[in-house]
Amino acid sequence: MEKDFQQIIEYIRERSQSSEYRQFMIDLLTEMINVRNTPDQPLDVISANEHKVFDILKTRLQSFAGSDITFEKSPINPEIAKHPYYTHPYYTADKDHPNGLPAEQVYKDRYNLFAVVKPKKSSDNGKPVLLNAHVDTVAPFYPARVDETYVHGRGSCDDKGLVTTLAASMKLLAEIEEKFGPLPAQPRVYQFVIEEETGGNGSLSAMLDPRFKNYQAIICESTSCIAYPANRGAMWFKMEMNLPADYNTAQAIPFIFVEFAQEGQKLRDETNEPLFPKSYVHVNLGSMNTFGQHPATVQDYAAWDLKVKSGSLSADKIAAILHESIRAGLDEYLKHYEDRTKQINPETNEPKLKEHYRLTPIDQDGESGFKLEIFGIGGHMSTLLLCDNALIKSGYILSRVISVLEEHSDIEAHVALSEKAFDPTKLLVTGGVGFTAVHPMAGLQDRMRQAAVRGLERYSQLTKKSVSAQGIRLTFDMLHNEAYISDVDSPAMKAMETAHKMMNLPWPEPVAWRASCDARIYGNNGFDTVTFGPGDAAYAHGDHERIAIGDLHKGLEMITLATLSLITGRDESTK
């Protein structure tokens, strides 16, 4: 039997790298990517598209499923609305339901897809396992595209690529049993869930299923094939500004952005948990009016219109003052964030960022002015310190510009967002806070509100215009994920370590994952929980989302070996 088990390991390693599995994964992934599972659609369309992607997945799984695999449409339990981890379905909000529609209405006829695998031979060894991946994605939608190296498109790495990996692993394990015969094993369930991106209500419903209470949990996200026993927390916020008619939100908001960024820096300095590197802690800005769409995305562009008039200074002198103050603000920003224009992208051999800003003279309603464009590098908010946030950069630059212009008594300046029909009294901003267990969410919410007030006060003192902080409304009704820490020596982590050994890979020192996901729902509710999967989270949520085909192969090999080790109780020493 030991010889047979070694043959199974070798078979998994060989087959997971085969052209057959390459094509299986590409075909399934591209078909799923081309179903739009974003939350920016009518509720009936969201539900219909969930059914569509589940039908695609189930059809593929049924092509190899034996009698040991049962498929279940697991309804979303409306009782989740009573759970502290419930997220209000904000994407369904209207004037009568500012926090979203009731759970009974939102989740009517919606479900998770489970594939329950009962072993043909039961065993007292090993541990039962649930493997979880989500089918929903963030907006905007991008269709699938494939080249020699990557599968591109929305959801390619977050998280339909991981759904694909689990489907391929199911196929490979079924193939092993057909070739080598049934192995004594523990049961497993594959949970393909909805609504991770909007807060985790799909996994919350799945977690509450009592049948799987004692299972090990492997939550599949793009971790670059590294197993993590902990995740940092994430909390999204929405800030609505409604100021008096003589007050300009576009001139006040840069000061608030700087205060937000500095609050993130303070939180980072206060973090001292061994599993959590300080770089995981930050405040991200995801959108501002029409610039950006998602609080958990690092926004890569913003544009501002500057009207500057002077009775004594020439246009060239005004431009020189602007360039000097922009550069000073940028220098301050670069004290806290890396200069991406000085870093080379190894794939293109070009600078990661071509330029930080561009100042262009324009005509505004017959008056001279300037358009100031701020450039950055987008990505998932968990990789903020690896990206370049154009909104945070705007805060440092424009707060300096506005301060300098206010010092010139002979200059009259007006700042606006470079967008159609901008109302200077109103502004909408979304973003997120990454944090660890040392910072409870309630305290973070207070600190973010205080930071917003400080920014408004800074601008009010500069312009000598007083305004009530009641004009700022900061809410946290969207995603609110606590951090979680699981046992670094749990059976699930040991199984991942065994897979590394079987693949002759070094086992890295366990640390927390820099992102937040549904793993905390399981990890904070009594499950040994691991986050793992192929793909680079830096590409998640961005305009160029992609997953390397080689990563899909590696993830397939590793998750299949880990699953086999976990459900059979076999490790490297007993092979």
551-561 confidence digits (pLDDT tens)? 999 999 999 99
In this prediction, residues 220-241 reach a mean pLDDT of 96
Whether the Cβ atoms of residue 231 and residue 517 lie closer than 8 Å to each other = yes
CA dihedral 332, 337, 342, 347 (to 10 degrees): -160
The confidence band for 575, taking pLDDT boundaries of 50, 70 and 90, is very low
CA–CA gap between residue 37 and residue 486 (Å, rounded): 30
In this prediction, residues 548-552 reach a mean pLDDT of 98
Q: What percent of the chain has pLDDT over 70?
A: 98
pLDDT of 474 strictly over 90: yes
In this prediction, residues 276-281 reach a mean pLDDT of 92
CA–CA gap between residue 143 and residue 152 (Å, rounded): 8
Token output for 520:
């905390």
pLDDT of 338 strictly over 80: yes
In this prediction, residues 122-132 reach a mean pLDDT of 96
Q: Which residue reads 């224009």 in tokens?
A: 341
Please, what are the domains in the chain? 2-232+483-574 (3.40.630.10), 233-480 (3.30.70.600)
Token output for 396:
């440092």
| Whole-number pLDDT of residue 542 | 87
| Whole-number pLDDT of residue 440 | 87
Token output for 318:
């005004």
Q: At what angle do helices 19-33 and 549-568 cross, to 10 degrees?
A: 100
Amino acid at 341: T
Exposed / middle / buried, residue 405 (Cβ in 10 Å: 0-12, 13-18, 19+) = buried
Token output for 564:
């086999």
| Whole-number pLDDT of residue 371 | 96
| Whole-number pLDDT of residue 193 | 98
Q: Which residue reads 């059809």 in tokens?
A: 59
| Whole-number pLDDT of residue 480 | 87
User: Which of these ranges, 28-42, 106-120, 130-144, 362-376, has the smallest mean pLDDT?
Assistant: 362-376
| Whole-number pLDDT of residue 1 | 46
3-state class (DSSP) for residue 144: coil
CA–CA gap between residue 38 and residue 413 (Å, rounded): 40
| Whole-number pLDDT of residue 421 | 84
Name the DSSP class of 101.
S
CA–CA gap between residue 559 and residue 310 (Å, rounded): 66
pLDDT in tens, 257-266: 999 999 999 9
pLDDT in tens, 484-498: 999 999 999 999 999
